[in-house]
Amino acid sequence: MTEDTPIAVDVVSDVMCPWCYIGKRRLEGALAQLPDIKVAVRWHPFQLDSTLPKEGKDRQAYLNDKFGGPERAEGIYARISDAGRQEGIDFAFDKIKVSPNTLDSHRLILWSRADDLQDEVVERLFKAYFQDGEDLTKPETLVKIADDAGMQSDLVDQLLETDSDLEKTKQQIARAQELGVTGVPCFIIDGRFVIAGAEKSETIAAAIRHAEETRTSDPEAVSQ
C-alpha cells in the first residue's frame, strides 16, 4: 500500500433498506468533507429478507407480517421519512406495491463494478424503489436502470435470464454474515474499522480520516 492508494470503504447494504439509502447520502456528505483523501467506495450485497420469493411479495402483506399491522409500520416509516428529508430524500412508501427479492438487483450491482458504475446503479435502484415505486423483481426495470447508468443493457438483459453470478452473490451475503454483519448499512473502512448503521456524515468522515492517519505500508497487513 502506498500513500496514493485510496482508502477503501466497503458498504454492505440492501436496496430495499431505506436506512441504506440514507446511509449513502451520509457517506456522500462525509466524502465532501474530505477532499484531500482518496476514497474508493465498493458496494456489497446483503438481504434483509432472503425468504421473499423471486417475484416478491405484496407490500401490504409484507408489512403486516413484519410489523404486525399497518399502524406500527406507519409509525416506523414516518420516522424514516423524517430522517430521509434531512438528507434530501423524499421517500414515497405509498407507491411501493411489491417488496422484492433483491438478489437480481445485487447481481446488477456486481456487474456494474466492472464498468466502475456501482454508485450510479445503486443510486438508480434506490430511487426506482423508494421514490418511483418500481418493481425491482422485473427484468425490464433492472435493464432500464442499467441502460440509464451507462451499462451494456443488452448484455444485462441476457444475463438476467441466466443464473450467472447468482451463487457468487449468495456467497458474498453469507460472507458478510460470517464477518458479523447482522444489519445494514455497514461501512467497513480500510478493512479495519466498522460503522454499523446510517451514522451521521461527521462520524463517517472522522472514521475515514482516522483510517488515513493510521494506515500502514506493511505489505503483510490484512486488507480487503
pLDDT of residue 78: 96
Q: Is 165 exposed, middle or buried (0-12, 13-18, 19+ CB in 10 A)?
A: middle
pLDDT of residue 223: 37
| Cell numbers placing 219 | 505489505
Contact status, residue 193 vs residue 211, Cβ threshold 8 Å: yes
**Residue ranges per structural domain of the chain:** 7-50+101-213
CA proximity to 121, closest of 146, 100, 104, 103: 146
State the pLDDT confidence band at 1, using cuts at 50, 70 and 90.
low
Helix axes 70-86, 59-67, angle to 10 degrees: 100
Contact status, residue 40 vs residue 9, Cβ threshold 8 Å: yes
pLDDT tens-digit map of 117-163? 999 999 999 999 999 999 999 999 999 999 999 999 999 999 999 99
Cis peptide before 53 (omega within 30 of 0): no
pLDDT tens-digit map of 29-54? 999 999 999 999 999 999 999 999 99
pLDDT tens-digit map of 179-219? 999 999 999 999 999 999 999 999 999 999 999 999 975 43
Query: How far is Cα 207 from Cα 205, in angstroms, rounded to an integer?
Result: 5
DSSP of 74-97: HHHHHHHHHHHHHTT----GGG--
pLDDT tens-digit map of 87-102? 999 999 999 999 999 9
Strands 193-196 and 186-189: what pairing?
antiparallel
**42 bridge partner residues:** 10
**Domain 7-50+101-213, CATH 3.40.30.10 — does that match?**
yes
| Cell numbers placing 13 | 447494504
How many CB atoms within 10 Å of residue 180? 9
How many CB atoms within 10 Å of residue 37? 15
